[in-house]
Amino acid sequence: MKKSNVTLGIILIFIGIVSILHKLNYWGLFHFKITFGLILLFIGLIFELRYFTGRSDAGNLVPGGICITLGIFYIIKPYFNFYFSWQIFALAVAVGLYELYYFGNKDNGTLIAASGLTIISIGSIVLNTFNTVIPAWLNSGLILSIILVLAGTYIIYKSFK
C-alpha cells in the first residue's frame, strides 16, 4: 500500500463530503466561499501534520500556515463585513514565517520578515478600519500630519525648557 494513494484517497473523501454538504445546503451554512475555506484549511492541516509527524522538513510549515490562515479567513468572511483583503494575504505569509521561526530554524531574518509583514498588514487593516469610521474630511493623512505638528511642537517646547 502506497502512502501517496492513502493521502490521495483522504483528500478525495474530504472533497466529496464537503461537496455533498454543499449540495444539500447543510444547515444553510455551506456555500462556495466556505467550501473553499474548508479545502484550504484541510490542505494546510496536511502540511502541518506532515511536519509534526516527522515526514518532512520545517519548510512545509510556511505553506501550511498560509493555507490555514486563509482557510479561516474564507470561512468567517461571509459572516462579517470586511473592508480589507490583500492585508490578509500578507498576514498569512507572516503566520507561516512565524511558524517556521518558532518550530524550525530560529533564523533572525525569518523573524524580521514575519514581523515586517505583520506590522504592514495590521497597520493597513487599522488604517482602513479607521478611515471607514471617521468622517471623510478627517482621514489618516490629516491625522498623521496633526501628530507630526504636535510632536514637533513638543520637541521645540522641551528644547526651550
Distances (CA, A) of 136 to 125, 129, 132, 139, 141: 17, 13, 8, 6, 11
Give the DSSP letter of residue 136: T
pTM recorded for the entire structure: 0.66
Confidence at residue 39, expressed as pLDDT on a 0 to 100 scale: 85
> Which range (16-25, 81-90, 99-108, 135-144) has the least confidence?
135-144
- Nearest CA-CA partner of 68 in 91, 86, 42: 42
Q: What stretches of the chain show up as alpha helix (H) in DSSP?
A: 3-24, 32-52, 61-76, 86-100, 108-133, 140-160
> Which range (58-67, 74-83, 135-144, 149-158) has the least confidence?
135-144
Confidence at residue 94, expressed as pLDDT on a 0 to 100 scale: 95
- Residue 149's pLDDT band, with cuts at 50, 70 and 90, is confident
Backbone angles phi, psi at 30, to 5 degrees: -90, 120
Confidence at residue 128, expressed as pLDDT on a 0 to 100 scale: 75
Confidence at residue 156, expressed as pLDDT on a 0 to 100 scale: 81
Backbone angles phi, psi at 18, to 5 degrees: -65, -40
| For range 106-111, the mean pLDDT | 88
- Nearest CA-CA partner of 73 in 120, 121, 110: 121
Confidence at residue 81, expressed as pLDDT on a 0 to 100 scale: 72
Distances (CA, A) of 82 to 17, 47, 57, 59, 85: 28, 28, 35, 31, 8
Asked whether residue 97 carries a pLDDT value surpassing 90, the answer given is: yes
pLDDT digits (tens, 9 = 90+) for 12-33: 777 777 677 666 665 555 566 6
